Amino acid sequence: MTIIEKILASHSGKDVVKPGEILDVEIDARVARDFGGANVVKNLIKNGLGLQNPSKTYFTFDTNPGGSDQKYAANQQYCRMFARENGIQVFDINTGIGTHQAIDRGLVLPGGTFVSTDSHANIMGAIGAFGQGMGDQDIAAVWARGKAWFKAPKSVKINLNGKRPEGIAAKDIVLNLLNIFGANKLLGYAVEIYGNEVDSFTLDERITISSMATEMGAIIVLFTPNKTILEELERRSGVKSEGIKADDTAVYEQEHDIDMSTFVHMVARPGKPHDDTSVASLRKTHIESAFIGSCTNGRMEDLRITAEILKDHKVAPGVVLKIVPTTDEIWREALDEGLIKIFKDAGALVSNAGCAGCAAGQVGQNGPEETTISTGNRNFAGKQGKGEVFLASPRTVAISAVAGYITDDLEDLIVDVSFENRGLKLEPKAQKTEKSSEDKLMVVEGRVWLIEQDDIDTDMIFHNRYLTITDINEMGQYAFDNLEGYEDFSSKSKPGDIIVTGKNFGAGSSRQQAVDCFKALGIPCILAESYGAIYERNAINAAMPILSYDAKMIEEIALKNGDVLRVDFMKGELTNTRNGKSTTINPFYDVQKEIYLRGGLL
């Protein structure tokens, strides 16, 4: 078996697991963050559910560790009160990013299982564990049962051959891989990485690479923990692990040989983590701010590299450099090593540990028309603010902050930085809220919104600035309000309308609201060529009908925007009533049907 198959087998009471099997999987560590935690609690209380094992259940307050937003502060306090009453451990606003707490404190070990309301829970692949981001209904069910249903994924093997070029960081490696595979070529796969130098990758480097599995569309990116990694984990957590590795006879759906010696310093252009190019091709692109942190690049190795560059330099005039360590332990270690003083002397802003701007937190957001270079994992439009965000390694970000423009050349720093006053433009959004129907129809008919785009992410569907909304009736007005050309969708759509779209719909975050906003508008179903893994789970668990189709479907039935479509969920039959043309698509599968007929997972 592959690594993922071994983990799922050991946690579902099976000797052997094959791709495609639906499994009931025991979860070792079950986490809700501050933005999703309140909804998890409300789901439990509403449905009269208890906790299967409080000792394996945790809150992590990392998205807004300052409690600087009143709604976040209210949600955090609500969760604290529930935790006190039910014996749940809280990693509060003074601890840092929850996924890193899980690794460093041994909440999950190699070969273990972990779920969180964090779409980057699959960062656990760095230590050879299975992590999965989930919506609040999923987490509530796991807290109540201790288990979650999973479909065992197929596995892909990537061999990184050749010697890593001097100075190429882990972030450069993953951006090179994104440039090769894009956002959906690995969609739904568990990826294992091997190669000549991979065994020497540090824990921090593995974390960086695994943290961007979500951006590649993968279920998870897994590394085999070697002796060095196991010893470091034991040193950090005090817990010993035997590790895990794939069998020599493991079967992979695909195997890719990639020459790592050709890798270069990379930058992801604004809007898409997979729209990558060399730093050299964007050199001299002016920046106004820089961010070093997030679950991808806020570890000690990242901070040491940053300090090495900043110790003899100052941040360019007019440029703001924000540095946010991932955990409080790393913050303290940086203080003891003198790194914090170096950062402050260079003119950087250093904040308390947490996700920061990557999760709409207290530090790291940018303003309209502002250009930022960031070590974050995601630069979807609006994700880290109103401006444009480039992604790069800590080294490139630090050098660029000193230069005032994108560069990776320490010799190329002296330039006259001038700023253009471009102003701010805010457009009012039309709003409309309607209550969704709870009728469990097996066949629906409705007007089509044909949105022929791939990789529509959850920030386009339901932006993170609305994440504190917990009332489903308020969510519909924000559906697609961050998708260019469809900002007025909520005011123009009608109950019964059907959405037809492309590949990888719902890529990105674990937010449940990206499903519930369509339920609020009375959208009876969504058809897409494929879905982001977490989005698919959230829709199924919320009894929101989603079905997938083959790319030739649109041509087969000559589908146009505004046509009326009849959809049979169980038979997978599709009919364009305008011309009478029919075809077949993938129908509900058993667990989807069961959850739909029950009215939802809970």
Q: Kindly state whether residues 583 and 569 are assigned to the same domain.
A: yes
Q: How confident is the model at residue 436 (pLDDT cuts 50, 70, 90)?
A: very low
- Domain boundary, last residue among 238, 262, 286: 262
Cα separation, 119 vs 213, in Å, equals 10
Residue 417: band (very low, low, confident or very high) from pLDDT cuts 50, 70, 90: low
Tell me which of 60-74, 182-196, 327-341 is least confident: 60-74
Joined tokens for residue 473: 């009736």
For residue 414, tell me if it sits in a domain: no
Reported pTM: 0.81
Higher pLDDT, residue 36 or 518: 518
Q: Is residue 429 part of a domain?
A: no
Residues 49 and 194 in one domain: yes
Predicted pLDDT of residue 424: 34
- pLDDT tops 80 at residue 567: yes
Question: Which domain, by its residues, includes 474?
Answer: 443-598
* Residue 387: predicted pLDDT: 87
pLDDT of residue 438: 46
Contacts of 420 (CB under 8 A, 6+ apart): none
Q: What is the pLDDT of residue 191?
A: 98
* Together in a domain, 101 and 56: yes
Alpha helices in 105-226 (DSSP H): 136-145, 170-181, 203-210
What token pair was written down for 324? Answer: 């946010």
238 plus 131 within the same structural domain: yes
Residue 311, burial from CB neighbour count under 10 angstroms (0-12, 13-18, 19+): middle
CA 569-570-576 angle, 5° bins? 45
Q: Which residues, other chains included, contact 154 with Cβ-Cβ below 8 Å and sequence gap of 6+?
A: 19, 20, 188, 189, 190, 252, 253
| Amino acid found at 528 | A
pLDDT at 587 over 90: yes
Q: pLDDT digit string (tens) for 12-70?
A: 999 999 999 999 999 999 999 987 899 999 999 999 999 999 999 999 999 887 767 77
Task: Evaluate whether residue 385 is within a structural domain.
Answer: yes
Is 433 a member of any domain? no
Q: Are residues 206 and 284 in the same domain?
A: no
The predicted structure's pLDDT at residue 49: 97
Backbone angles phi, psi at 505, to 5 degrees: -70, 130
Please indicate, yes or no, whether residues 117 and 148 belong to a single structural domain of this protein. Answer: yes
| CATH number of the domain enclosing 130 | 3.30.499.10
The pair of three-digit structure tokens given for residue 398, joined into one six-digit string:
């630090």
The CATH number given to whatever domain includes residue 522 is 3.20.19.10
Q: Which of 372, 387, 403 is the last residue of a domain?
A: 403
CA 315 to mean position of chain CA atoms: 30
Give me the percent of the chain exceeding a pLDDT of 90. 83
In a domain, 421, yes or no: no
Task: Give the mean pLDDT of 364-376.
Answer: 87
Flag whether 408 is in a domain.
no
Cα dist from 371 to 277, 361, 386, 390, 400, whole Å: 17, 18, 9, 8, 12
Per-residue pLDDT band for 160 (boundaries 50, 70, 90) equals very high
Domain tally for the chain? 3
Residue 196, token pair as written in the block? 């000549």
Same domain, yes or no: 452 and 467:
yes
Give the pLDDT confidence of 85-106 residue by residue, as tens digits: 999 999 999 999 999 999 999 9
Q: Indicate the helix (H) or strand (E) that contains 89.
A: strand 89-91
Assess whether 145 and 81 both reside in one domain. Answer: yes
- What's residue 470's pLDDT? 86
Residue type, 195: G
Other beta carbons within 10 Å of 232? 16
| Residue 218 CA, distance from chain mean position | 10
Give yes or no for a contact between 110 and 127, defined as CB atoms under 8 angstroms apart. Answer: yes
What average pLDDT does the structure give for the chain? 92
Note whether 257 and 279 are same-domain residues. Answer: no
Say if residue 142 is in the same domain as residue 180. Answer: yes
Task: Select from 342, 371, 403 the last residue of a domain.
Answer: 403
Residue 420 lies in a domain: no
How much is the pLDDT for 17? 97
277 with 372, same domain? yes
Give the integer Cα–Cα distance in Å for 425 and 62.
Answer: 31
pLDDT exceeds 80 at position 412:
no
Considering just the CA atoms, what is the radius of gyration of the chain in Å? 23
Q: Same domain, yes or no, for 70 and 219?
A: yes
- Rounded to whole angstroms, the Cα distance separating 53 from 562 reads 50
Asked if residue 424 belongs to a domain, the reply is no
